[in-house]
Amino acid sequence: MKKIALFTSGGDSPGMNACIRAVVRSGIFKGLEVTGITHGYEGMIEGKFIPMKSESVSGIIQRGGTILKTARSKRFMTAEGMKLAYENLSREKIDGVIAIGGDGTFRGALEFNRTYDIPFIGIPGTIDNDLVGTDFTLGFDTAINTVVEAVDKIRDTAASHDRLFFVEVMGRDAGSIALLSGISVGAEAILIPETKTHVDRLINTLKKGWHRNKTSMIVIVAEGEEAGGAYQIAELVKKQFTSIETRVTVLGHIQRGGNPTCNDRVLASRLGVAAVEAMMEGRREVMAGLINNEISFTPFSQAVKQHIINQNLLKIAEILSL
């Protein structure tokens, strides 16, 4: 093992830059040559390789986004695209690749390794916290803190005007952001893709709160919630619950940006170093994660399986919304 490459892929998440820094500097510390690939798998196909030195990653630990850029690549999922990627990796004499991304990134690596013999190690970089094999993914802590800060401000307005707010957060297939942020802001209800939404039950909950003279109410809705998202849910509720003004706020991409929290910076640093060490130990097709505060490695084939929502947290959210 003499030369490794790293790239970021899929949606950006706070902590990716801190992780790039950790991979580069730990690789150099171990005597490796480190190369960055810009724009994810697409950059691998197009040969966008740049040498990474220690000074290349100075002053980035606090920055959101990714200095290596990111992209989703349909071409990489074709035989022709993978062949071009392999040829470029071979030309650059890359002995192994560290991929920072989510389930799509790891599925791409799995598919690539069915044909080509270049080891991949994954690091979970996604705000959705939807991968098996790690308690938290890079960017999740920052994202939920962004949501909490925003909803706390919305709560001020809701209380001032006696309003009901539906706040839509990210989570097309996973409700972790909605669930944890909803508990943190004291939401009256939390709607996520993993559970069925009963609109009549939601309306009853809101009516009970209103009759107890609550001055504001917040419903957190994951964007992938099966009943259709915040606007659709709000319309259904307004038809049957006309005694209170209703507003909708979609937080959108602000959840992906911003300076990573201390937790995300430390997690990124630990996983970056662990990935380099795993590569040098001969591991391949595994994701580095953190379980019970200990580094763990999970095969890509397991990591991309559907993440199971914490049922105890759902119970807590229901109890505390009374």
Residue 206's Cβ-side half-sphere holds a number of Cα atoms within 13 Å equal to 30
For residue 47, give both structure tokens.
């040969």
**How wide is the angle at C-alpha 267 spanned by C-alphas 265 and 271, nearest 5°?**
120
Q: Closest Cα partner for 122 from 139, 97, 143? A: 97
Q: What's the mean pLDDT in 212-236?
A: 86
> CA triplet 105, 111, 116: central angle to 5 degrees?
115
**Alpha-carbon Rg of the chain, whole angstroms?**
22
pLDDT tens for 116-172 read 999 999 999 999 999 999 999 999 999 999 999 999 999 999 888 888 999 999 998
Q: Which residues are catalytic?
A: 128
- Asked whether the whole model's pTM tops 0.85, one would answer yes
The tens digit of pLDDT for each residue in 246-296 reads 999 999 999 999 999 999 999 999 999 999 999 999 999 999 999 999 999
Digit-coded pLDDT (tens) for 3-35: 999 999 999 999 999 999 999 999 999 999 999
pLDDT at 258: 94
Q: How far apart are CA 61 and CA 204, in angstroms?
A: 47
CA 220 – CA 178 distance, rounded (Å): 6
What domains are there in the chain, each with its CATH number? 3-139+260-303 (3.40.50.450), 140-256 (3.40.50.460)
